[in-house]
Amino acid sequence: MRVLWTGASGMSAASHWVNAMANDAANINTTGYKSEDLAFSDLLAVHYAPGVRIPAPDTPPGLPVGSGVRAAARVSDWSQGPLQETGRKLDVAWEGEGFFVVFGPEGIRYTRDGSFQVSVDPAGQATLVTADGHVVLDEYGAPIDLTGVDLSTLAIGPDGRITGSVAGTPTDIAVLGRVVFDHPQRLIKAGNNLYDAGTEVPLTPAAVPDPLRFGQLRQGYLEASNVDLTDVMTKLMEAERLYALSARAVLTADQMMSMANNLRG
């Protein structure tokens, strides 16, 4: 029976791998998306001690017999995605490790997607938001107020400083909230290009003396997905092969057990 569970574990792992690759392919045009891969780990191995009945007469005592494989974790690739020029004033791309800080119904979240919009409430107050309505926060954790700003004059510097003309007067408006993480792999995907910090501590520019970690921002650009479609297709073929071999092992074991039952009869 062990070989059935071992083969089934391989089929399950291959299925998870296909799902991960399909998700990458689906997000190839998603702004700021980071590709994923699966990390695999082996299942508990059984060691047959001396004196214990072993499966075959020539099996040496103490030989570890594996129980299969499992998908242990999804691992994101945090490499820089290519920058695509849009020419739009409210589009901002990261060149570096950083994240924008946003706020929504679920609380503070972080994103690499800089396709920002302006939301105007019934009272006429204009606020900088993400494409799905999350409020973009400044370096002090406050919403960025764009009320009265001539958006045609809006400029966002490499350090996130926002300037623009208010009633014809050049004005410093705010500085985009920017953070980095020591272990971005521990961030939790929250959907809509957002991440939950979980147990990770966001580090602001004041807490990171090395400015190279933050890199710089590029106005009028967006960071494209870093998914490599050729790599995705290659891994899909590998996953298909893993599934086929595991299924073959299950079928072979079933045929062998059927033969053994017929011999008993």
Kindly state whether residues 203 and 106 are assigned to the same domain: yes
Total structural domains in the chain? Answer: 2
Kindly state whether residues 50 and 172 are assigned to the same domain: no
Q: List residues bridging with 170 in a β-sheet.
A: 165
- Residue 242 CA to residue 106 CA, distance in Å, equals 39
Whether residue 140 contacts residue 132, with contact meaning beta carbons closer than 8 Å, is answered with no
Kindly state whether residues 192 and 214 are assigned to the same domain: yes
Residues 186-210: tens digit of each pLDDT:
999 998 999 999 999 999 988 887 8
Kindly state whether residues 148 and 39 are assigned to the same domain: no
Kindly state whether residues 209 and 236 are assigned to the same domain: no
How many CA atoms lie within 13 Å of 116's alpha carbon, on the beta-carbon side? 29
- Residue 120 CA to residue 69 CA, distance in Å, equals 52
Kindly state whether residues 106 and 211 are assigned to the same domain: yes
Residue 131 domain boundaries: 83-223
Kindly state whether residues 113 and 197 are assigned to the same domain: yes
Whether residue 149 contacts residue 164, with contact meaning beta carbons closer than 8 Å, is answered with yes
**Residue 64 above 80 pLDDT?**
no
Share of the chain above pLDDT 70, in %: 90
**Mean pLDDT confidence for 130-153:** 95
Kindly state whether residues 176 and 100 are assigned to the same domain: yes
- The pLDDT assigned to 67 comes to 76
- The pLDDT assigned to 206 comes to 85
**Residue 62 above 70 pLDDT?**
no
Residues 233-265: tens digit of each pLDDT:
999 999 999 999 989 888 888 788 888 778 765
Kindly state whether residues 10 and 95 are assigned to the same domain: no
* Between 10 and 142, residue with greater pLDDT: 142
- Residue 173 CA to residue 176 CA, distance in Å, equals 10
pLDDT tier for residue 63 given thresholds of 50, 70 and 90: low
Kindly state whether residues 16 and 102 are assigned to the same domain: no
Residue listed under structure tokens 């002090």: 140
Kindly state whether residues 11 and 95 are assigned to the same domain: no
Kindly state whether residues 209 and 98 are assigned to the same domain: yes
